[in-house]
Amino acid sequence: MRAEASAKGLSIELNLQPDLPKIQGDIAELQLALSHLLKNAISFTSQGRISVRAFSQQNTIIVEIKDTGIGIPEDDWERIFERFYRVDQARSTPGAGLGLAITRKIIKDHDGKIEVESVLGQGSLFRITLPAHLKQPK
């Protein structure tokens, strides 16, 4: 996705803990979840950067994707994970409003959780927390 970001003048920074524990799960689904988050970060950021951070903490793996984009109003934080829901500011950007719903289901199927923090005009942070020793998804 670096090429897509670069085409918009954005940089993607990776900060990955070197000794991350291995996890067991559906790699294609987990890649899809991360892909949705990165695509959204690129789509809703017109300048600045996107950072991806992964680290372990208390038997969990935490992945954070942070952007310097348009941000999400706090009243919409929970609703953005609903199917077909789109924040008013996002309606001019192509999409069906399914990416975050799919991402949440994938993470939930892997016994994890996804959270968002955001400030309008400053960007968003999506945090995925997964158990360090995952079983196959349900």
Residue spans per domain, the chain? 2-131
The domain defined by 2-131 folds into: Heat Shock Protein 90 (3.30.565)
The predicted model gives 10-26 an average pLDDT of: 89
Q: Coil, strand or helix: which one is 45?
A: coil
Q: With beta carbons less than 8 A apart as the criterion, state whether 113 and 65 touch.
A: no
Q: With beta carbons less than 8 A apart as the criterion, state whether 46 and 68 touch.
A: no
Is residue 9 pLDDT above 70, yes or no?
yes
Q: What average pLDDT is seen over the chain?
A: 83
Q: Coil, strand or helix: which one is 35?
A: helix
Question: pTM, whole model, 2 decimals?
Answer: 0.83
Query: What is the pLDDT at residue 85?
Result: 53
